[in-house]
Structure formats: structure tokens, C-alpha cells
Amino acid sequence: MFACALVYMPHLWMRVAVGLYGLGLLYALVALSGKREVLARIILPALGLGAIFHFVALAEAYVSSGELAPVTISQSESLLAFVLIACFFGVYWRYKTTSPGILVFPLVFLLSLSAAIGQEPPQFDSPLLRSGWILFHITLILAGYAALFFSFVSSLIYLVQEQRLKSKHFDGVLSHLPALEVMDDIGFRSLLFGFPFMTLGLIAGSVIAQASYGPTYFRDPKILLSILMWAVYMVLLFSRWSAGWRGRRAALLSTVAFIAATLAWTANYFSSVHRYVAQ
Amino acid sequence: MKYCLIGINHKTAPVEVRERLAISESRLPEAVRSLASRPDVEEGIIFSTCNRVEVLARSVDIVPDLRGFLYGHFQMESSALDSHLYEYSGPDAIRHLFRVASSLDSMIVGEPQILGQVKEAYAVARSVGAVHSHMDALLSRAFAVAKRVRTETSVGSSAVSVASVAVDLAKKIFGSLQGKQVYLVGAGKMSEIAARHLIAHGAGAIFVANRTHERAVELAKKFNGDAIRFEQLYDMASEADIVITSTGAPHHIFRREHGEMFLQRRRNRPMFFIDIAVPRDVDPAVNELDGIFVYDIDDLQSVVTSHVADRQREASRAEEIINFEVQRFLERLDTLDVVPTIVSLQDHVETIRQAEIDKVRGRLGALSPEQELAVESLTKGIVNKILHTPITTLKGAAKDARQKDPEATTIIELVRKLFNLNSSRANLPRAAKQKTDVEKASLKS
């Protein structure tokens, strides 16, 4: 009881980060209305600062709980948001475009908001969570998710830009979208980058599950969905790599992969294997 | 002090008149010198481009006869010139200069060359000693205003020629044009211009195919490219990222099935067709294929038209900036007007102080350095304390004069009369120099 009266520091940092990410959300909304000059100047420093606070919150939460891996759904959300914003900066560093932010910022904001609201000091303990394997598994999978999301976002932007070029109408708010080939490159590279992570992450997960639950884990909905997602991922990557699929077809596949990923993510709520919280 | 401007431009005079008035680069210094040497002109500058010839001058009390200068310099009858001339003075002349420098008065609003031309004219006028502090300040303000217009509005940012629109579109598709291959099908003048623009923006290899092969070879040579035999037209096309067609063929040269073939060979990498031929060389159905973008001459032209409209819209925002800047400049001019009075006042009192010290020194005998210093600081202290309020009031009066407060002008007049400043000003070379420095500082702030 006494502990509750004190401010749990990771919460404070997290809330600061959420506030800064809120600017990102605002930027995404304003970008759609075309007037983004003022926000554009402060958005990168603000988000960078947000990411630093976020990192501090993550590090402190893990250090104080003694768990190596994210324990609750909130913590996974928080970690995913962090990986997404890190990817955004990676893409920005390479391509100097903030356009993916239009979709990435809102997602980062929602994930981190949900994490900040639902956050509670861990109250249970599981030997599994202290194993390095599980951290390995979760971090890799989250990096895979983030890459998939970037690929999805860039195919959407590609589609919009393609539509504008085809219809030959350039008026309005989206006149600063990046070039088609840039979006295509971002989409393809994030897939390339994410695939090994996703694969290794799934392998690590299987090893852990095999060790702790035996072969029954395979029938778990979360696991099935993850395998489906991985399959779509592979098809997507292969079709782009071998046939140079882009535009509508690539966007369609990205969407399917992204939906599968979202399902796999939400399956946390139904999965028995993944429910760490004490039964 | 007055600024006057006289000139002709593309709106008021046809090219036949403009070319008679155009002053070549080599003769410009001479012309500016003769302008500045006129007794009624303190400072002067001449802008001469293919779209305008303008004379801007500053005079002290009288209105300079710039018309007379033009008639004399070009040895033209007033009747031949008068109907084309426009004339501005005071704030209107300043506004006109700002508009010219910001490219709002240009034939193509927002075109970037004019600022460079104004800067060159300024450099020439400076080199012959025709501009000093006032004109200096005005011109540097004009450059700053032009920069502000450029950064705060998008008046110069959109492409307004068919070739530059084509480059813009190519960039929207490919991002960078670095290393992109350009294929010219048909060796027309238009496609040559478009290709030149693409190369200027980094495009790589050029191929040319033309029904008359010699013409293709000739054009390819200009770009260090390769000529392709017309029979092999389709073999090369899938290599090209950008295809510019301008043949006189009566039917479509590139049809849907060609597009599909190219895409397959290119593994769906995008392609951009710029079809400037009439009748069209590329079947519009090719545009329906994923990854191929076809723009015909009307499409490009309509982008140009919409950009021109954009520029016009932005130009009205730019006009607001210019109005604001003119106002600001005038306010500075007014504080400037009061500077000579302040300087003469200070000089007047300083002369009295020196005279009084000299007078008393005889009676005091030899003074030690400490005593010398004490006398200096005592007298200076008194002078400064007495002058402080009048100077503050004068500065305030300059601001009020801007608001057309009649009392303010009276105050300035009164101070001059009280201290009999009008006569003492001319024979004070030190004051004159100091004046220029103060003016410079206050204008450039």
C-alpha cells in the first residue's frame, strides 16, 4: 500500500514520452490538412526526446522488476512502440522522409498510451521470464512486427502516390509525398530487414515452448496465427524479390501480412501459452 | 529626401521599345555614372534586363528629372517614350523595387533570375560610386525582402514550363534521377529541351531513335548518347526509365501490349512516358498498367496552368509581406530623418563646450592630468545630461511624424531653429562623417 503512494518512476517517464508522442499524432493529423511547416520543425527533436524518455522508462522498469522480458501486455506494447519509433528514425536517417510518420506516429502514440495507462508494477514472478531466451524471442518478434508495419505503411503511401500520378491531379494536401521508388525501397528493405528477426524470433519461441510445455503448444491460436503470418511474410518477400511486385499487389500482400500480424498480436489475449499472468 | 523610379517593362512596352532602351552590360557603368553625376541626383542605380529598364534615384530636396535623363541618354523623343513609361516616387518607388526584386513584377511571376540581375545592377552602381549609405540600405532591404518572400511563400517553387514539369514528375516517380536512362523517340526540338532538363537534374544515359537515322545520330552526339535504329525501337525501350516521344507517326507507337512486355522485362520497375507528339505516340491505355505513367502534352500543359494559378495565389500573399516591409522601411527612414538634427545638435553643443574649456584654461594655469580629466568629465557630464531629454524627444517625434502628427514636425523644426542648426551643419566635416555612420547603423539594424 505504501509503495502505491510513491510515484513509480518508469510511469512518469512513460507519461512524458506519451506526451511527446502526442505531438507526433498531432503532426500526422495536421499533415493531412497540409499545413505542417511549424510542427515539422519541432517534430523530430520532440519525438527523439520522447524516445529517450521512453527508453529510460523501459530500462528502469526492467531493472526495477528484475525481469528481463516484458511481463505484461502493456510492457510489450511499450516495447513495440519503442521499436517502431526507433525504426522510424532509422528510415528517416536513410531516406530523409517523415512521410511514414503519418501512420507510424498515431500507432506509436496509441501503443504507448495504452501501455502508460495499463502499466502496473509487476506483481508476479515466473522463472521463465528471467531467461535470456524469452527476451531474445520477444525483441526479435517485435522488430519483425515493426518492419512489417513499415512495409505496410510504405505500400499504402506508394498506392496513394501512384493514384495521384495516374489520375494526374496534384492539388491538395498530399503534394509532399515522397517518390514512388523511395517508398518502394523503404517497403522492400524493411521486409528484408524484418524477416530474419521474425524467423529467429519464432524459432526462439518454439524452442522455449517446446522446453516448457511440450508438443501441445502447437495447437495454441497464437502460435498458429504466428506461423500464418510468417508464411505470408515469406510470400510477400519472395514475390517482391523475384517478380518485383510493387504497387497494388505488394500493398495487398502487405495488408494481409499486417492483418495476420495484428491477429497474432491480439491473440495474446486468448493464448494459454502466452498468458504469463498467474492463472 | 526622395526616392524616384522611372522605367518601362514587359507590361508597358513592346519588345521593339524595350530593345532600344536596353543597356548592355559593358555600357551600364557609364550610364550609371552619368545618372549619378546629375546635379539633381544624389544616388542612382539602373536595372536593365530583357524585360525591363528602370532608373532608381534618390535626391535630397528636389524631384530629379529622370525623364530628362532617359531622353538625353537614349536620344529619344519624349513622344516615342512617354506612353510606355511608368513613374513612382516615395513609398511607391520603394514598393516597386521590392516587388521587382521579389519577382512579383516579372513576366513569369516567381522566376528566380531577376534577383540576381538586381544584385548585379547594384554591384555595378556600387563600383562606379553611384550608391552610398541610403541606397545601400534600401537595396539590402530589397534583397532581404526578396528572400523573405521566397522562403515564406511558394511563389517560386512550382514548375511552370512543360520541361520542368516533366522533370518534377520524373522525380515524383524515381526520387533521384541519378543514373536513370532516357530514351528519345523522335528527334524534335521539344524532346531535346526536355532531355536537356532531365540531364541537368542528373539523368544518365541517353538513347535516340528516329525514323531518319542521321537525325538520331546527330542528336545523340549532342548528348554523348547512342543512336538506335528505328527498327530496334522496342528492344531498347524496356531499358529506359523515361521515354520521351515526339514522332510524327499517325498512329500509336507504344500500345498496351508493349507496355506489358516492358514491365515484364523490367520486373515491374516503373516507367515514365512523356508523349509530346500530336497525334499521340503512346496509347492512353498504357497509363492503366501498374507501374507505367503516361503524360501527354495536354496533361503537362494542364499541370503548368495549375502551377501558374498557384503562383498567382501565392503572389497575393507575397504582396502582403511587401506592404508590411515597405511600411517598416519607411518607419526607419523617418528615424533616419531626425538623425542629422541630433548629430548637429550634439556637434553644436560640443563646439561650445570645447570653446568654453579653452577660454577657462588660460585662467586655470597648468593642470595635472587628474585635474584635466576631472574638467573633461565634468563638462561632458553636464552636456550629456542636458542633451538627453531633447534627443529622446527628437527620436520620439520622428515616430510621431510617421503617424502624421503635425506637432512632431514642429518639434523637429523648433529644435533646429532654437540651436540655429541649419547654418552650422555645412561646415562640420566631422559631423558629416559621423552622420553617415549613425545612419548606416540605424538603417541596417
Tens digits of per-residue pLDDT, B278-289?
889 999 999 999
Mark whether B167 and B140 lie in a shared domain. Answer: no
CA distances from B231 to A39, B195, B219, B253, B345 (A): 55, 22, 18, 12, 89
By mean pLDDT, which of A65-74, B173-182, B217-226, B382-391 is the weakest? A65-74
Highest mean pLDDT among A40-54, A139-153, A212-226, B36-50: B36-50
Q: Between A170, A180, A245, which is nearest B270 by CB?
A: A180
Mark whether B208 and B136 lie in a shared domain. Answer: no
Residue B126 burial by Cβ neighbours in a 10 Å radius (0-12, 13-18, 19+): middle
Q: Is A173 on the interface with B (CB under 8 A)?
A: no
Task: Band the pLDDT of B5: cuts 50, 70, 90.
Answer: very high
Could you tell me if residue B75 is left (phi over 0), alpha (psi between -120 and 50 degrees) or otherwise beta?
A: left
Bridge partners (DSSP) of residue B8 are B53
Mark whether B128 and B8 lie in a shared domain. Answer: yes
CB contact (8 A) between residue B290 and residue A248? yes
Q: Is residue B138 part of a domain?
A: yes
Q: What is the ipTM of this complex?
A: 0.73
Distance separating alpha carbons of residues B135 and B142, to the nearest angstrom: 10
Q: How far is A201 from chain B (nearest CA, A)?
A: 31
Please give the pLDDT value at position B208: 93
Mark whether B6 and B142 lie in a shared domain. Answer: yes
Instruction: Kindly state the average pLDDT of the residues B164-187.
Output: 90
Residue with cell 514598393: B95
Distance separating alpha carbons of residues A174 and A167, to the nearest angstrom: 14
Q: Which residues of A touch B303 (CB under 8 A)?
A: 168, 170
Bridge partners (DSSP) of residue B274 are B244, B295
Q: Which three cell numbers stand for residue A148?
A: 512489417
More confident residue, B61 or B134: B134
Please give the pLDDT value at position B21: 86
Last residue of a domain, one of B99, B132, B152: B152
Please give the pLDDT value at position B432: 41
Q: Is residue B318 part of a domain?
A: no
Please give the pLDDT value at position B253: 92
Tens digits of per-residue pLDDT, B408-440?
777 777 887 888 776 444 334 344 444 444 444
Mark whether B263 and B371 lie in a shared domain. Answer: no
Please give the pLDDT value at position B444: 45
Task: Give the residue from B157, B164, B173, B286 with the most A CB atoms within 10 Å of its CB, the best one to mutate.
Answer: B173
Q: Is residue B362 part of a domain?
A: yes
Report whether the peptide linkage leading into residue B91 is cis, meaning its omega lies within 30 degrees of zero. no
Question: Into how many domains does chain B fold?
Answer: 3
Give the chain B residue whose CA is nearest to the CA of A164.
B172
Q: How far is B109 from chain A (nearest CA, A)?
A: 19
Strand blocks (E) in B160-241: 182-185, 206-209, 226-228
Q: Which three cell numbers stand for residue B242?
A: 523515361
Largest CA distance in chain B: 113
Please give the pLDDT value at position B426: 39
> Shortest CA distance to B23 belongs to which of B35, B12, B40?
B35
By mean pLDDT, which of A196-200, A266-270, B242-246, B264-268 is the weakest? A266-270
Residue with cell 550634439: B346
Strand order of the β-sheet with B52-59 is B43-48, B52-59, B2-9, B86-89
Tens digits of per-residue pLDDT, B132-161?
878 988 999 999 999 999 888 888 777 778
Give yes or no for residue B63 having a pLDDT over 80. yes
Q: Between A166, A168, A179, which is nearest B175 by CB?
A: A179
More confident residue, B181 or A171: B181
Mark whether B148 and B170 lie in a shared domain. Answer: no
Mark whether B276 and B418 lie in a shared domain. Answer: no
Give the chain B residue whose CA is nearest to the CA of A95.
B175
By mean pLDDT, which of A264-278, B320-334, B357-371 is the weakest? A264-278
- Report the 10 Å Cβ neighbour count for A117: 12
Q: Is A231 on the interface with B (CB under 8 A)?
A: no
Give yes or no for residue B122 having a pLDDT over 90. yes
Distance separating alpha carbons of residues A235 and A219, to the nearest angstrom: 23
By mean pLDDT, which of A117-121, B85-89, B177-181, B322-326 is the weakest? A117-121
CB contact (8 A) between residue B295 and residue A168? yes
Mark whether B168 and B142 lie in a shared domain. Answer: no
Strand blocks (E) in B191-307: 206-209, 226-228, 242-245, 271-275, 292-296
Q: Which residues of A touch B299 (CB under 8 A)?
A: 168
Q: Which residues of B touch A243 (CB under 8 A)?
A: 267-268
Distance separating alpha carbons of residues B433 and B423, to the nearest angstrom: 17
CB contact (8 A) between residue B268 and residue A248? no
Q: Is residue B232 part of a domain?
A: yes
* Average pLDDT, rounded, for chain B: 85
Q: Is A119 on the interface with B (CB under 8 A)?
A: no
Give yes or no for residue A71 having a pLDDT over 90. no
Give yes or no for residue B272 having a pLDDT over 80. yes
Catalytic residue (one of B1, B15, B50, B364)? B50
Last residue of a domain, one of B224, B259, B290: B290
Mark whether B200 and B284 lie in a shared domain. Answer: yes
Q: Is residue B179 part of a domain?
A: yes
Last residue of a domain, one of B152, B170, B198: B152
Q: Which three cell numbers stand for residue B234?
A: 522496342
Mark whether B168 and B145 lie in a shared domain. Answer: no
Please give the pLDDT value at position A172: 61
Strand order of the β-sheet with B182-185 is B226-228, B206-209, B182-185, B242-245, B271-275, B292-296
> Shortest CA distance to B148 belongs to which of B333, B335, B334, B328?
B328
Q: Is residue B296 part of a domain?
A: no
Task: Band the pLDDT of A174: cuts 50, 70, 90.
Answer: low
CA distances from B257 to A54, B269, B363 (A): 54, 16, 113
Q: What is the CATH number of the domain that holds B272?
A: 3.40.50.720
CB contact (8 A) between residue A171 and residue B174? no
Task: Band the pLDDT of A201: cuts 50, 70, 90.
Answer: confident
B4 in active site:
no
Residue with cell 522463472: A127
Q: Which three cell numbers stand for residue A238?
A: 519472395
Q: Between A168, A177, A243, which is nearest B268 by CB?
A: A243
Q: Which residues of B touch A249 (CB under 8 A)?
A: 290
Q: What is the CATH number of the domain that holds B14?
A: 3.30.460.30
Q: Which residues 6+ apart lie within 8 Å of A47 measured at CB?
A: A20, A21, A23, A24, A85, A88, A89, A105
Q: How far is B290 from chain A (nearest CA, A)?
A: 7
Distance separating alpha carbons of residues B322 and B155, to the nearest angstrom: 13
Mark whether B79 and B206 lie in a shared domain. Answer: no
Distance separating alpha carbons of residues B403 and B392, to the nearest angstrom: 17
Please give the pLDDT value at position B8: 92
Instruction: Count chain A–chain B contacts defined by CB atoms under 8 A.
Output: 48
Q: Is residue B363 part of a domain?
A: yes
Tens digits of per-residue pLDDT, A220-262?
777 777 888 888 888 888 888 877 777 778 888 888 888 888 8
SS (H, E, C) chain A: CHHHHCCCHHHHHHHHHHHHHHHHHHHHHHHHHCCCHHHHHHHHHHHHHHHHHHHHHHHHHHHHHCCCCCCCHHHHHHHHHHHHHHHHHHHHHHHCCCCCHHHHHHHHHHHHHHHHHHCCCCCCCCHHHHCHHHHHHHHHHHHHHHHHHHHHHHHHHHHHHHHHHHHCCCCCCCCCCCCHHHHHHHHHHHHHHHHHHHHHHHHHHHHHHHHHHHHHHHHCHHHHHHHHHHHHHHHHHHHHHHHCCCHHHHHHHHHHHHHHHHHHHHHHHCCCCCCCCCC
Q: Is residue B245 part of a domain?
A: yes
CB contact (8 A) between residue A181 and residue B173? yes
CB contact (8 A) between residue A247 and residue B291? yes
Domain residues for B254?
A: 162-290
> Shortest CA distance to B144 belongs to which of B274, B332, B301?
B332
Tens digits of per-residue pLDDT, A3-52?
343 456 667 778 888 888 888 877 777 665 555 566 677 888 888 888 88
Q: Which three cell numbers stand for residue A175?
A: 503534394
Q: Which residues of B touch A178 (CB under 8 A)?
A: 175
Give yes or no for residue B244 having a pLDDT over 90. yes
Q: Is A41 on the interface with B (CB under 8 A)?
A: no
Please give the pLDDT value at position B273: 95
Task: Band the pLDDT of B336: cuts 50, 70, 90.
Answer: low
More confident residue, B61 or B32: B32
Mark whether B273 and B406 lie in a shared domain. Answer: no
Q: What are phi and psi of B184, to 5 degrees?
A: -100, 120
Q: Amino acid identity of B159?
A: A
CB contact (8 A) between residue B303 and residue A180? no
SS (H, E, C) B219-231: HHHHCCCEEECHH
CB contact (8 A) between residue A180 and residue B287? no
Task: Give the residue from B267, B274, B308 with the most A CB atoms within 10 Å of its CB, the best one to mutate.
Answer: B267
